[in-house]
Amino acid sequence: MSEQDTGTPDDAALLAAHVAGDPGAFEVLVRRHQDRLWAVALRTVGDREDAADALQNALVAAYRSAAGFRGDAAVTTWLHRIVVNACLDVVRRRTARPTDPLPEAAREPADPRDRFAESDTAAAVAAALATLPVDQRAALVLVDVHGYGVEQAAAILGVPTGTVKSRCARGRARLAPMLAGVWNPAAPGNVEAAQPAQPPRGARNGEDLR
């Protein structure tokens, strides 16, 4: 088992150990990355429960499919890809089809703890981010929030690098007027004015559609 400089197994070694039957290896791997994966999930989904579901489903799926990992990408990229795709699926299902309307993500922090963890400015930025179309949001979460390179973000999202760049550019362009109110409270177009996207078919749970 290869080891990091710290003497602990690296990600690839942990995954290989898991595939080989080590019952604790995958948990060590998850604990190593769970905070960042959670942050990506929560920022992308914008809803705590949905993010928790997506993260759990994704990591259980990764647990099961680890034997299929070929090692031609970093383990973290693979994990992020599974988690991000689970998040995108959750958001698209929620917004593209008649389910419960989007949460009040545009006005409230996704995680109640954020109220305490984030400053007013950070909360406003997070709220503005939550109003973006999910593809743009996911790209910005990876590139701007978490500092992944465009190429790694492209690998995670499964899209060309040019697409990541354009999504980031479009996302920033949408955010700029909203953040103007944060940077300058007297300016128009602050976050409060931003409206979350509406489910196209507008159905509610248990609702007749005719």
Partner 1 sequence: MSGPGEDPADAQDATAVDEAGLDPVTQDRVAAALAALPALALPDDVAARLHAALAAERDTPAPAAEHAVASAGATVTALQPRRARVPRGNAAVLGAAASVVVVLALGVAWVASGHVGGTSGSSAAAAGAVPGASPVNVFAVHPTESGVGYTPAALPAQARTLVDLSTVHPSAATVSGAATSPAGALTSASGPSGGTAGASSSGSIPASRSSAVAPTVTALLTTPSVLDRCLQELEAGGPPLRPLAVDGGTFRSAPAVVVVLSGGGQQLAVYVVTPACGQGGDPHLLYYANVTR
Positions 70 through 99 that interact with partner 1 (CB under 8 A): 70-75, 77-78, 81-82, 84-86, 88-90, 92-93, 96-99
* Residue 86 to residue 150: CA distance in whole angstroms: 20
Specify the amino acid at residue 56.
Q
Q: Are 120 and 58 in contact (CB under 8 A)?
A: no
Q: Is 32 in the site for partner 1 (CB under 8 A)?
A: no
Q: Is 150 in the site for partner 1 (CB under 8 A)?
A: no
* Residue 194 to residue 125: CA distance in whole angstroms: 12
Site string (157-176) toward partner 1, x via CB under 8 A: xxxxxxx-xxx-xx-xx-xx
Among 10, 104, 108, 114, binds partner 1 (CB under 8 A): 114
Q: Which stretch binds partner 1 (CB under 8 A): 2-10, 141-149, 185-193?
A: 141-149
Q: Is 14 in the site for partner 1 (CB under 8 A)?
A: no
For partner 1, the closer CB: 73 or 105? 73
Smallest distance from the beta carbon of 9 to partner 1, in angstroms? Answer: 17
Site for partner 1 in 39-68 (CB under 8 A): 39, 42-43, 48, 50, 52-65, 67-68
H or E segment and range at residue 41: helix 25-45
Q: What is the DSSP string of 105-132?
A: GGTS-SSTTHHHHS-HHHHHHHHHHHTS
Smallest distance from the beta carbon of 185 to partner 1, in angstroms? Answer: 15
For partner 1, the closer CB: 7 or 186? 186
Smallest distance from the beta carbon of 176 to partner 1, in angstroms? Answer: 5
Binding residue count for partner 1, defined by CB under 8 A:
98
Q: Encode burial over 155-164: b for 16+ CB neighbours within 10 A, e otherwise.
A: bbbebeeebb
Q: Are 91 and 134 in contact (CB under 8 A)?
A: yes
Q: Are 123 and 114 in contact (CB under 8 A)?
A: yes
* Residue 183 to residue 31: CA distance in whole angstroms: 37
Q: Is 10 in the site for partner 1 (CB under 8 A)?
A: no
For partner 1, the closer CB: 7 or 153? 153
